[in-house]
Each structure stands twice: as structure tokens, then as C-alpha cells.
Amino acid sequence: MKTLKTLALCAVFTSSAAFADDPIVPTEAELDSMRSAIASVGCVVDTDEAADAVEDATGFNEELLQASVEQLRVYEEIIDATDEGGIKLVSGNCEA
């Protein structure tokens, strides 16, 4: 079972150098799928249940989940939800 670490925390602690050999670059359609999935769980992924729901909704593997979260961070669409972990989407339907 994938955990919150798979979706959010790995993206925080994994440097882009880890993707240097064969970088995964999510398409805009994949990013839209990620945005929709995060919005569907209330814009915040801070529990294993929310992370599982996002994973199930997107159907992405671990690497594509990480790459998508990282790309949305670059676009400044994802921020840390709390000091303890988790992510929050701050764009589209989740814009404050």
C-alpha cells in the first residue's frame, strides 16, 4: 500500500538529480489529472487515505506521482500543507 510519503514527502526529499538518468516529465494532461485528483480529496493530501485516493484516481506509478508533485511545486501550485508533512494544491478549484 502506498503511503503519504510516496506522494508528498518523497518529492520533498528527492532531488531532481535522482531523475537525471531518465527523467520523467509529466504531460499537461497528467498534471491536470493530478490537479483533479487532489481537488477531489479536498485540496490537501495529508493522510494515507487521501494519498491512496489520489493514486487510485490518477492510476500513476510512484515515479510519475513524484514527478507530478515536483512539477506542480515548480509551478508553485503545490505547497506544504503543514510542518508535519502533506501537500496542498493552491491553484484552480483549490485557489484560496
Q: How confident is the model over 60-75, as pLDDT tens digits? A: 999 999 999 999 999 9
Average pLDDT over residues 65-90: 93
- Specify if 50 maps to a domain: yes
d(CA 77, CA 73): 6
CB 87 within 8 A of CB 78: yes
- Specify if 21 maps to a domain: no
- Specify if 51 maps to a domain: yes
Residue 62: which CATH number? 1.10.10
Exposed, middle or buried: residue 24 (CB in 10 Å: 0-12, 13-18, 19+)? middle
Residue 33 pLDDT class (50, 70, 90 cuts): very high
Give the CA angle between residues 27, 32, 37 to the nearest 5°: 125
Which structural domain, as residue segments, surrounds residue 84?
Answer: 4-14+26-94
- Specify if 20 maps to a domain: no
Of 6 and 64, the structure prediction assigns the larger pLDDT to 64
d(CA 81, CA 17): 24
Domain count for the chain, please give it. Answer: 1
- Specify if 9 maps to a domain: yes
- Specify if 19 maps to a domain: no
CB 44 within 8 A of CB 81: yes
